[in-house]
Amino acid sequence: MSSRRELLGSVTRKALIYAGLAVMLALALAPIVWIFLISLKTDKDIIASVPRIVFTPTLENYKAILIGVKSAGGETARPEFVHYFLNSLIITSGAVLVSLLAGVPAAYALARFKIKLKENIAFTFLSFRFAPEIAVIIPIFVIYRSLGLYNTYVGMILVYQLVTLPLIIWLMRGYFEDIPESIEQAARLDGYSRFAIFRKICLPLVKPGLASTAILAFIFAWNNFIFGLVLGAKETFPVTVGMLGFISYESVLWGQMAAASMVTILPEIVIALFIQKYLVRGLSFGAVRG
């Protein structure tokens, strides 16, 4: 009897877990599905007072943002969206790359070396994330204006370090600390230099963690809005800011905006799916037996 009750209990528990997951999934995906549907609708369908579930899908919105609409003169100008999208790619990839180059060795040093005030240094990096960006944006703006970094890719990549660098340093530090120190000591006894150990032994071991950390940093940077808005202009706007262009005095181009949103989240989805294996392993890393 008791085993049957247990079975029943476990079935109920499983059902509850799945119900909870279903609710979370619906909450997370519903807006995306909604936007996806909007992106396939004509303007008329979008503003229909009873939202239409059944409609004739159209790719006009995607065409408009990716290829451009014919102007009255018959020319098709290069759509701004593509420009902003490329900006985002340049800034985000650049920021993640710089953060990896600087942050991974820093994380290793913080994990392994005996450095004076080590915890204070690590904490300083973390403190980059304490203040909301909006709180520090005015001084940064003033500095950028006087240094000539305003509205430049270099400036954007630099300021994005506030987003990506602390993340990479703190996550990678944990991965490095998870490597048993004796593995490195054994290599030292075999005559490997500190740098060779870092490159040949530690880096391959943290590769899954490195991949997941880089993706997280990429996503955070990709989604950033305020830095681009204040420190950039038309030439360097990332896609998040550029999308505001769909809102104008006369009208809001809902359909194009939705299509742009779909294209914008595409890189994140592709990257995440592509290295999902690493992502899962990376987040559950620390399982080096020892």
Binding site for another protein (CB under 8 A): 180, 182-183, 185-186, 188-193, 201, 204-205, 288-290
Least Å from the CB of residue 173 to another protein: 20
Which CB, 62 or 285, lies closer to another protein?
Answer: 285
Which CB, 113 or 249, lies closer to another protein?
Answer: 113
Least Å from the CB of residue 192 to another protein: 7
- List, in sequence order, the alpha helices (H) in the chain: 2-39, 43-46, 60-66, 80-112, 118-127, 133-147, 153-178, 181-189, 194-197, 203-222, 226-231, 239-242, 254-274, 276-283
Q: Which long-range contacts (CB under 8 A, 24 or more apart) does 34-41 make?
A: 35/258, 35/261, 35/262, 36/258, 36/262, 38/254, 38/255, 38/258, 39/255, 39/258, 39/259, 39/261, 39/262, 41/255
Least Å from the CB of residue 193 to another protein: 8
Rounded Cα–Cα distance for residues 149 and 62 (Å)? 33
Least Å from the CB of residue 13 to another protein: 32
Which CB, 63 or 207, lies closer to another protein?
Answer: 207
Least Å from the CB of residue 25 to another protein: 34
Which CB, 70 or 188, lies closer to another protein?
Answer: 188
Residue of 65, 58, 33 whose CA lies nearest to 260: 65
Which CB, 129 or 207, lies closer to another protein?
Answer: 207
Which CB, 138 or 288, lies closer to another protein?
Answer: 288
SS3 208: helix
CB contact at 8 A, 36 and 14: no
Burial of 83 (0-12, 13-18, 19+ CB in 10 A): middle
Least Å from the CB of residue 185 to another protein: 5
Torsions phi, psi of 247, nearest 5?
-100, 120
Least Å from the CB of residue 119 to another protein: 14
Which CB, 73 or 204, lies closer to another protein?
Answer: 204
Strand-pair partners of 247: 252
